[in-house]
Structure 1
Amino acid sequence: MTPAVQARRGVPHALQALRAIVLREVLKFSQQTGRLVSALVRPLLWLAVFAAGFRNVFGVAIVEPYDTYIPYDVYIAPGLIGMVLLFNGMQSSLAMVYDREMGLMRLLLTAPLPRSWLLFCKLCATALLSVLQALAFVIVALLLGTDLPVFEWSVLHALVALLAGALMLGALGLLLSVHIKQLENFAGTMNFVIFPMYFMSTALYPLWKLQESGAEWVYQLARFNPFTHAVEWIRFALYGKDPGLAPWVVLGCLAVFFGLACWGYDPQRGFGGLTKRGGGA
């Protein structure tokens, strides 16, 4: 068989792998109704309870990208959308560790397709589920009275930002799954990833508030936090404003995280610990 024929056949096989992996994750998610409920309850509690006590905090100043005074629930809505993406990205890391424990990752990564493509298929499945959950949250937030410009043309840009943020955080979860060797270690590792990334960002307060309060070190950490740029891209895109460097930071981090994850799942390094664990069994 000539290389040209192999290449032509390789494309359908690659697309079939993408379809199969994405469908597997979607079907698995559809059978876990509690997962969707928990994904919605968490940000909705922040929106309905936490935001209620600070509803007019940002009425004292106009902050970009807003052109007028805004209630607090409107400000934190993009951050809560980011929370959905963040938690699902970390949830995908747990699923990867579980698949590795069950031996499914070994079967996947020994398939006759490039390892990077197979991991990309997993990443696409994670991002799709993240976006669907985020859209479900937006619908419920609108029903609760949060004023979001979802009926403007800028929402198309926001969907691009949403997808890019989901891919970046999914790639981070993929990278973390390389280093989390056992399910028992997952909770501790996540506590050192999710909460610092979320609270040291602009999800709950703008950067200038951190600097104004004198918390300079928190301000600097928030500036260089990739999650900050994902949230800001979503926020600015919703209102049709220029997000600045945020897209470049998000896409750059996506490339770095995914590249490191592919390197971590190198068969010569034991598929992220798979060979070593399998050899000791």
Structure 2
Amino acid sequence: MTTNDNDNDNYSAARLPHLARALRAVVGRELNKFLRQPSRLASALVRPLLWFVVFSAGFHNVFGVSIVPPYETYVTYQVYMVPGLLAMVALFNGMQSSLSMVYDREMGVMRLLLTAPLPRGWLLAFKLLAGTCLSVLQMLVFLLIALVFGVDLIWQNLPVMFLAMVSGATLLAAMGLMLSVYIKQLENFAGTMNFVIFPMFFISPALFPLWKLEESGAWWLLKIAQFNPFTHVVEAIRFAMYGQFNLLSWSVVVLGSMGFFALAWWGYDPQRGWIKKRGAA
């Protein structure tokens, strides 16, 4: 081993404590903020619970869910909704993380983080991890509530389902991270939320199977839904709930997470904390 190799190994070993402290600071800060605000958890669960309780009762006999993969028998509409509402929790938290990033940038926190003596990729990865952890925490709470309301789960499939939830939450948190590059002001957040969240949620199999669109002749909506990354988050969780593996959905989730994170990493300027404008020095 050469002297340069030894120096590189020593540098990598010396940087590990710095990475650990940065991880604890960034992720711990987000988790502590969340745990100090129990109303934030309540507000995050009101929306999916409203859909779960009210709409599952009102549309119980309206939406007939046929025997299509991954189902091997007819299921109630309440059971069908669970994967979509779990993904909904992650979607809204991903946008909430985006709002937090925009706020931190305006307050100067992101500028301090991105000028720290660590590669910005690591710092953004820690932000992504924090958003993913918050999403998964809220998804688990909602899943427990669904169990209380009588939704049965196949317990041996829970590890695979948990992995699908983590992967889906990572994709949506990475999307929020990428959007925080382009949202310049807090005032623009509401418009961005309406433009991103609601089309993604409603043009997906979260509330109804996609064959309903095909049956009604809405081919253009069907095509949009098939290209919607949120669709594949829902389907990955739905198939995992029954111990099945949807290769297409998992591919979209994994590659989408990498793509959104790469765009966020490329967009953040370590000096200013947001995307460089074309022609800027």
- Structure 2 unaligned spans of 5+: 1-5
Q: Percent identity?
A: 60
> What is the root-mean-square deviation of aligned Cα atoms in Å?
1.6
Contact 1:54/1:72, CA 8 A, preserved across alignment: yes
Between the aligned partners of 1:178 and 1:161, the Cα distance in structure 2 is 26
Among 144, 148, 152, the residue aligned to 1:147: 152
TM-score where L is the length of structure 2: 0.93
Matches within 5 A, 1:165-176: 165-176=168-179
Partner residue of 1:186?
A: 189
- Structure 1 unaligned spans of 5+: 276-281
Alignment of 1:229 onto 2:232: yes
- Counterpart AA for 1:220: K
Between the aligned partners of 1:55 and 1:207, the Cα distance in structure 2 is 17
Between the aligned partners of 1:193 and 1:69, the Cα distance in structure 2 is 32
Secondary structure of the 1:271 match is coil
- Counterpart AA for 1:43: P
Among 258, 262, 267, the residue aligned to 2:265: 262
Partner residue of 2:3?
A: none
- Counterpart AA for 1:127: T
Between the aligned partners of 1:15 and 1:208, the Cα distance in structure 2 is 47
**CA-to-aligned-CA distance 1:33-79 (integer Å, 9 cap, x gap):** 11100111110100100111122445462121111111101001100
TM-score where L is the length of structure 1: 0.93
How many residue pairs align between the two structures?
A: 272
Between the aligned partners of 2:34 and 2:48, the Cα distance in structure 1 is 19
Contact 2:95/2:173, CA 8 A, preserved across alignment: yes
Secondary structure of the 2:74 match is coil
Contact 2:178/2:264, CA 8 A, preserved across alignment: yes
- Counterpart AA for 1:73: Q
Between the aligned partners of 1:231 and 1:273, the Cα distance in structure 2 is 30
Secondary structure of the 1:184 match is helix
Among 53, 60, 81, the residue aligned to 1:76: 81
**CA-to-aligned-CA distance 1:182-205 (integer Å, 9 cap, x gap):** 101100011000000000111011
Deviation beyond 3 Å, 4+ runs, structure 1: 56-60
Secondary structure of the 2:173 match is helix
Among 187, 209, 213, the residue aligned to 2:212: 209
1:178–1:240 distance in 2 versus 1, CA, 3 Å: same
